[in-house]
C-alpha cells in the first residue's frame, strides 16, 4: 500500500526514530523535519548517550535541517515529534521560525504549550497526531523503568 504524505505518515517516521531511542535506553522521543513532503532531517533523543541535556530530538533535528538547507530559518518546514516539545525546544523552534509543529503525545508537566504561546506568531501548531501510539511508547518506557 502506498502511504500518502500526510501528518500520520510523517508521525510514523518520527515514531520509528523514537523506537531507536528506546532500544538504547533513551527516553523514546523521535522527530523528523519535512520540507516539500520530503524528510530532510531525522533524529531521536540522545541525552544519555551524549551526556548532554540539550540533545533532545527536536534540537538535533533543527540543527540537522538547517545544515541540510544551508540556512538557519526553517520557515518552509514542518517538524513532527512524538512528544510535545519542552520550553527549550519550543524556544529553539521559535528562533527557527518553523512553519508548522506537529506533536503526538502531550507533556502536561514539561510541555511548552502549558504557558503562553512561545512559538513564532506564524507557526501553526497541531497536537494529538497518532497520540495513542506516541503516548503508549513513552508511557510503556517509564512503566518498564519503574519496574526494574
Which residue, 39 or 87, is less far from a copy of itself as judged by CB? 87
Which residue, 118 or 125, is less far from a copy of itself as judged by CB? 118
Per-position x/- string for 116-135, each x denoting binding to a copy of itself as judged by CB under 8 A, each - no binding: x-x-----------------
Rounded to the nearest whole angstrom, what is the least distance from the CB of residue 13 to a copy of itself in the complex? 22
- Considering the rule CB under 8 A, would residue 95 count as an interface residue with a copy of itself? yes
Which residue, 23 or 52, is less far from a copy of itself as judged by CB? 52
- Considering the rule CB under 8 A, would residue 115 count as an interface residue with a copy of itself? yes
Pick the catalytic residue from 17, 58, 67, 133. Answer: 58
Scan residues 22-61 and list those touching a copy of itself (CB under 8 A).
47-48, 51-54, 59
Is 48 an active-site residue? no
Which residue, 14 or 96, is less far from a copy of itself as judged by CB? 96
Q: Which of 56, 66, 54, 80 is nearest to 134 (CA)?
A: 80
Q: Which of 25, 28, 59 is nearest to 41 (CA)?
A: 59
**Residues identified as active-site:** 58
Amino acid at each position: 500500500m502506498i502511504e500518502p504524505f500526510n501528518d500520520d505518515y510523517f508521525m510514523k517516521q518520527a515514531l520509528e526514530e523514537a523506537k531507536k531511542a528506546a532500544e538504547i535506553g533513551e527516553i523514546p522521543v523521535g522527530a523528523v523535519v519535512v520540507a516539500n513532503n520530503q524528510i530532510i532531517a531525522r533524529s531521536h533523543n540522545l541525552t544519555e548517550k551524549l551526556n548532554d541535556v540539550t540533545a533532545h530530538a527536536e534540537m538535533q533535528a533543527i540543527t540537522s535541517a538547517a545544515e541540510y538547507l544551508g540556512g538557519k530559518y526553517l520557515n518552509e518546514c514542518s517538524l513532527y515529534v512524538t512528544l510535545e516539545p519542552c520550553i527549550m525546544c519550543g524556544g529553539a523552534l521559535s528562533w527557527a521560525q518553523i512553519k508548522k509543529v506537529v506533536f503526538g503525545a502531550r507533556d502536561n508537566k514539561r510541555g511548552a504549550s502549558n504557558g503562553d504561546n512561545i512559538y513564532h506568531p506564524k507557526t501553526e501548531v497541531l497536537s494529538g497526531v497518532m497520540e495513542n501510539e506516541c503516548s503508549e511508547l513513552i508511557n510503556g518506557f517509564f512503566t518498564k523503568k519503574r519496574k526494574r
